[in-house]
């Protein structure tokens, strides 16, 4: 495992750990809600990591695989359904969560995505000095002069 891979894995684990710590402090360490928040944030971070992994210079640049965002979106919808629909939640043994829990779960999954994307972009700029820096909201093709 390279140092970069270890760093990315550590960032993802830290997001899930933080969300799990919140759940443990709020509900107790063995509660279904704490497990749901921790596992949900880990799954979210791993799904979003696929976008960083498949991109060349960072997730904001887009992916080379046009179906990947659709698959990730569908997976996130399925995960949400498993947590929000009572029948499915009971079938899967997922603990009920409230809005604050959902915010923590999402933050625990999304923040590692942004941290890893920023790190990948920074590394790409170091190794490829000609890699253009975009302004906020600018499309990737516009940054390369083809937009």
Which of 15-19, 20-24, 90-94, 139-143 shows the lowest per-residue confidence on average (mean pLDDT)? 139-143
Q: Is the pLDDT of residue 28 over 50?
A: yes
- Distance in angstroms (rounded) separating the CA atoms of residues 6 and 23: 25
- The encoded tokens of residue 130 equal 């000609």
Cβ atoms of 120 and 52 within 8 Å: the answer is: yes
- How far is Cα of residue 34 from the mean position of the Cα atoms in its chain? 18
Mean model confidence pLDDT for the chain: 84
> Looking at residue 59, what DSSP letter applies?
G
- The encoded tokens of residue 62 equal 């887009």
pLDDT (tens digit, 9 = 90+) per residue, 41-100?
999 999 999 888 876 655 555 556 578 889 999 999 999 999 889 999 999 888 999 999
- How far is Cα of residue 115 from the mean position of the Cα atoms in its chain? 10
- More reliable by pLDDT, 138 or 19: 19
Look at residue 69 in the predicted model and tell me its pLDDT.
Answer: 87
Look at residue 56 in the predicted model and tell me its pLDDT.
Answer: 63
- More reliable by pLDDT, 3 or 35: 35
Look at residue 146 in the predicted model and tell me its pLDDT.
Answer: 45
Q: Where are the domains of the chain?
A: 3-143
Instruction: Kindly report the pTM of this predicted structure.
Output: 0.76
- Distance in angstroms (rounded) separating the CA atoms of residues 143 and 80: 34
> Looking at residue 2, what DSSP letter applies?
-
| H helix or E strand, kind and range, residue 140 | helix 140-143
- Distance in angstroms (rounded) separating the CA atoms of residues 31 and 33: 5
Q: Is the pLDDT of residue 15 over 60?
A: yes
- Distance in angstroms (rounded) separating the CA atoms of residues 132 and 126: 11
**CA-to-CA separations, 144 to 38, 123, 126, 128, in angstroms, rounded:** 39, 18, 17, 14
């Amino acid at each position: 495992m390279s140092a970069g891979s270890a760093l990315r894995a550590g960032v993802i684990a830290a997001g899930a750990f933080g969300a799990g710590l919140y759940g443990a402090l709020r509900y107790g360490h063995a509660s279904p809600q704490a497990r749901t928040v921790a596992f949900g944030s880990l799954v979210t971070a791993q799904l979003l990591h696929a976008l960083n992994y498949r991109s060349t210079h960072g997730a904001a640049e887009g992916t080379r695989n046009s179906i990947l965002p659709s698959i990730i979106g569908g997976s996130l919808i399925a995960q949400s359904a498993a947590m929000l629909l009572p029948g499915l939640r009971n079938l899967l043994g997922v603990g009920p969560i409230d809005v604050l829990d959902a915010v923590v779960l999402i933050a625990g999954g999304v923040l590692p995505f942004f941290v890893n994307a920023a790190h990948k972009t920074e590394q790409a700029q170091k190794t490829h000095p000609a890699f253009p820096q975009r302004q906020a909201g600018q499309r990737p093709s516009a940054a390369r002069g083809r937009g």
